[in-house]
Chains A and B, each alone.
Chain A
Amino acid sequence: MSFKIASSPHQHIQKTTAQLMKLVALAAVPGIAVQAYFFGYGVLIQLLLAIITALLCEAAVLALRGKKVKAKLLDHSALVTALLLAVAIPSYAPWWLVVIGTAFAIIVVKQLYGGLGNNLFNPAMAAYVLLLVSFPLPMTSWLPAAPLQQQSLSPADAVCTIFTNFSCSGYSISQLRQDADGISMATPLDTLKTDLSQGYTTEESMKKPVFGWLSGEGWFWVNLAYLLGGLFLLQQKVIQWRIPVAVLGSLFGFSLIAWLLSPDTNASPLFQLFSGATMLAAFFIATDPVSASTTEKGRLIFGALIGGLAFVIRSYGGYPDAFAFAVMLANMTVPLIDYYTQPRTYGHKSKGAR
């Protein structure tokens, strides 16, 4: 009798890349739900658009590259990329924005670099940066949270706005953003930045309705939901604690120092943690395995770098939120970090890199 030959180990943990990706998508659900509640159903449409685009692009490129399309599509990595970009884009941004962004993320940032595992940059963040630089206006046109909106928007309105730039009742996106006085409302981070540049103190600026409780109407809850999702990922061992802790820790640390030194011109550390894309970035974006550091020490450095850069760009840069830039910059340093943070191999004295 002849038996089948296989190489050891003959046993494998029942956790595949596809399952990891699915868990990531699952963990994002609470965040997406809260986002949809506060900022409109637009986010769902954006999600749909992004996923369709991502899958089509991925399939096309894989076919062109002569790869096994189905097997690779089923690793769900394109799905996660699409998801991350869709939730980072303003909910009512025109449809072509997310389509362009997703296509760029998949085709250029991921596949042209060699496909899953070989991309230097986080595809979703690279695409976000591209869009932000190319189309700054639609990319920053967030509606105020639902309680502050003058016109309540139905799902149908969402579809209309995204595809025609006008809601079913004919409001343009900039009209939708206006408050009762006809003044366009920006995101809390944006507002704070503008106010501080105009000489207001943090405290004065924070009195505006857009801030709501702690860190901005709606934004606090969105961040909390992503934090929950992140904790779920940690518990499922999909991600390791080092990167998120380092991101949040360094953002908190830097903003604490700045805030203690000059509370009038700096936001509080808690505000920083719960506004904008902080939690999403810390748990979902920075932890993207492909473009993050892989050594234990390296992950701490990588995370701290992101948190620090985000603080600097938020406080002193020209853009309201900063994580996309921070992540991309940190991505670039990964090969270096990895090289210099090789663990000490058992039985060796010196550190890995010599």
Chain B
Amino acid sequence: MPTLFQQIQAGKVWDFHGGIHPPSRKERTNQKPVALLDIPDRLYIPLRQHIGVAGKVLVKVGDRVLKGQALTQAENAMAVPVHAPTSGMVLAIDLHTSTHPSSLAEPTLVLAPDGMDEWRPRKPLDPEQVDVYTLLERIQESGISGMGGAGFPTHIKVNVKQPVDYLIINAVECEPYITADDMLMQERASDIIAGIEILVKLLSPKAVLIGIEDDKPIAAASLKAAIGQKDNYFVREVPTKYPSGGEKQLIQLLTNKEVPAGRRPLDIGIVMQNVGTAFAIAQAVLDDIPLIHRVVTVAGETLAQQQNVLALIGTPISDLLNACGFQAEPQQRIIIGGPMMGFAIADWSVPVVKTTNCVLAPTENELGAASDEMDCIRCGACADACPASLLPQQLLWYSKAKDQDKLAEYNLSDCIECGACAYVCPSEIPLVHYYRVAKADIRETQREALKAEQAKARFDARTERLEREKQERLERNQQLAAQRVAQQQASGQATQSAAAVQQALERTQQQSGQSLDKEQIIAERERKKAEALAYQQQKQQAQIATPAEDQAPGTAEDPRKAAIAAALARAKAKKQAEAQPEAVEQTAPAEIAPDMDAKKAAVAAAIARAKAKKQAEAQPEAVEQPTPADTAVPEVDAKKAAVAAAIARAKAKKLAEAQPEAVEQSVPAEIAPPEVDAKKAAVAAAIARAKAKKLAEQAEAPLQTEAKATTERALPPERQEPATTPEQDAKKAAIAAAIARAKAKKQQNSEPL
């Protein structure tokens, strides 16, 4: 059994599944020399012509540039620059329709040639004398990207760490009509081989395999002549069959290997380059001519002259066609690329770019437009033609059904969109079109899944952070309490304060209401008091102990809570604004978790609420601590706290419902003077809540700025002035607070999370 390499050496060529034989129509253009065109009036040079990113623009409007001068600079490994194809003035740098199926506008430099065609200084390199890095740099600086397919930056493709067995040069050019590479080989074979030698120096492959279809005998002979006696260069003629020029198909033809799904040819030791790219490399290195022109086949029966032309990058397609005597017919189609995989353009001002190998202007007779699509008769002709051994009819079925799981099972992602299936389909079903749509849908789904995942990660991180902050706050509070105890013991006031507290407690107990359950009320009130006490203590402590720094924990707590709530409200408001596009402009970008969805916001709000509550419950430990406060203070504070609690709850709830205007409604309650009794406040809060809820239901687009403003107004209750009030009020307030809390709790529970 001979090894693979032996078989290759022996001249063996394999086959791939399927394939078709459309009329090639290459004879129209492959016997005429490549024509040179006049320099066009304007050149439109897209700043990005390849996969990857555009470079930084180096020139400005009004500059005079020389032929070959770089117009952009690659700041990134995935970028290659573009160059001035001739000397002239930069007229504009603006958006211009791109030479791409999407027709999206792309940043494009408009150059007004001055007709002098004046070169910048050139520095040819001798590949024998320079190192690999200099070569790679030159390739990148010359703006070379793959000229056959999608335009992948060449310097990346040939800068490999893995060993390379085979360098395959794709000279197949299997698409009908196109003869650009064919002509290049016929006319410039030795330059192509020089380019291949540079590639060999970069890649050190075991062998160079040049794949060429057997319908190009002259080109093949020229290449062989140019290769001469070189070792391990093999020109392999493959049978004419579409799509043998596909990367995967050519690899299969020449090496009998398959690129495993989802991998690159390099993973099986193969690098493939197009002949055009090899030629461009030779020009860049040996003559310092960057990629500023290319051979383009201009064909179609609407043209007086079907031929190959050497077109400057940036030449508008209209110039190209007019130079060839274009006579448009009604319903004219203009196709960039070949009839199988090219794309039709609507606007012929788009320019020739580095990947443009062909422009077709066919008559209706020549390439009939698709007629009526009929039902699939399951004839399997498409499956017989598919070079990827897919089952196009099943893919069609599941594409129509939008069944993404089945599409994955039938390997839609392995479809190379060669169009062989659609070409043979007797029912004239535009299969490739269906697959493109299905693929776009799948990409969309994946993007959304990714987004959701990211949002979840963000949300988790945030929840964790909030939890951590809460813990920290708790610890700080305990420390503060401990400090205070130490202080007070030292000052000898401890017992006295404790007695005062005890007294106050007893007094309130005596006065407890009769209509409500005594125990409950007492308990409730005590808790309330404790909360208030703790609050007061904290505040005082903060002021006494460390006036400046330690104030932060106490006062910062509620602002922070409010800030969180505000952030949530903002997130929600944003969400709603998205749902109501007319309001979008009014919404300023949210700071935290901008695209968190409504549900998550609700969850977060619930967490914030729960936290607030927990926090409140965590305070009572401080109650035992003696306080220097006057006995009336606890009562006042209890009331104030009740008011504040009601307000805070109302606020939290409203915020959670993301009805920022509703917050305004609660303003009266918030700024209600402490003299007003707590019950009223609680009632007001309840009313506000109801209002808020109602508002939520009829809400217009929320204004986030208002939310901010109102949440600021809703800030810490401790800012309110303390005032003495009858003790009955304290009791009532406690009752109201209990009711309000119960309500709040109930609502909270009934809120879907």
Contact = CB atoms under 8 A, between A and B. Distances in A.
Q: Do A and B come from one complex?
A: yes
Contacts of B492: none
Contacts of A289: 377-380
Given A12-B370, A20-B379, A342-B410, A3 B333 contact: yes
A7 B432 contact: yes
B346 A2 contact: yes
B333 A13 contact: no
A347 B430 contact: no
B391 A295 contact: yes
A77 interface: yes
Interface residues of A, number: 45
A325 B390 CA distance: 31
Interface stretch (B40-48, B257-265, B278-286): B257-265
Nearest to B340: A9
Interface string A12-26: 110111011000000
A240 interface: yes
A343 B383 contact: yes
A198 interface: no
Interface in A277-296: 289-290, 292, 294-296
Interface in A315-351: 338, 342-349
B388 A11 contact: no
B591 interface: no
B380 A295 contact: yes
Contacts of B424: 13, 15
B414 A347 contact: yes
B259 A347 contact: yes
A1 B340 CA distance: 24
Contacts of B333: 3-6, 10
Nearest to A14: B368
B346 A3 contact: yes
A147 interface: no
B20 A1 contact: no
B119 interface: no
Interface string A253-292: 0000000000000000000000000000000000001101
A294 B393 CA distance: 9
Contacts of B340: 8-11
B432 A11 contact: no
Interface in B356-377: 360, 362, 367-372, 374-377
A327 to B, nearest CB: 15
A116 B377 contact: yes
Contacts of A249: none
Contacts of A346: 16-17, 248, 252, 258, 261, 387-389, 414
A347 B369 contact: no
Contacts of B337: 8
Interface in B93-146: none
B389 A345 contact: yes
B411 A9 contact: no
A71 interface: yes
A9 B375 CA distance: 19
A172 interface: no
Nearest to A115: B375
B628 interface: no
Binding site secondary structure of chain B: loop
B403 to A, nearest CB: 14
Contacts of A5: 333, 344-346
A9 B378 contact: no
B423 A348 contact: no
Contact of A347 (B260, B339, B433): B260
Contacts of B91: none
A349 B262 CA distance: 12
Nearest to B433: A7
Interface string B53-83: 0000000000000000000000000000000
Contacts of A19: 426
Contact of B328 (A1, A7, A296, A354): A1
Contacts of A17: 374, 377, 379, 426-427
A101 B17 CA distance: 41
B248 A352 contact: no
Contact of A116 (B248, B258, B375, B388): B375
A118 interface: yes
Contacts of B433: 7
B718 interface: no
A4 B341 contact: no
A344 B389 contact: yes
Contacts of B411: 345, 348, 352
A290 B608 CA distance: 62
Contacts of A1: 318, 328, 348
A182 interface: no
Nearest to B416: A346
B331 A20 contact: no
B388 A345 contact: yes
A155 interface: no
A3 B345 contact: yes
Nearest to B431: A9
Interface in A154-170: none
Most B Cβ at <10 Å: residue of A12, A116, A295, A348? A12
Nearest to A345: B411
A209 interface: no
Contact of A7 (B262, B380, B430): B430
Contact of B414 (A10, A116, A345): A345
24 contacts: A1-B348, A5-B333, A5-B344, A6-B344, A7-B430, A10-B360, A11-B423, A12-B368, A13-B424, A16-B374, A72-B374, A117-B377, A290-B377, A345-B389, A346-B16, A346-B248, A347-B248, A347-B259, A347-B260, A347-B261, A347-B263, A348-B260, A352-B409, A354-B409
Interface of A: 1-13, 15-17, 19-20, 71-72, 75, 77, 115-118, 240, 289-290, 292, 294-296, 299, 338, 342-349, 352, 354
Closest 3 CB pairs of A and B: A9-B419, A289-B379, A294-B380
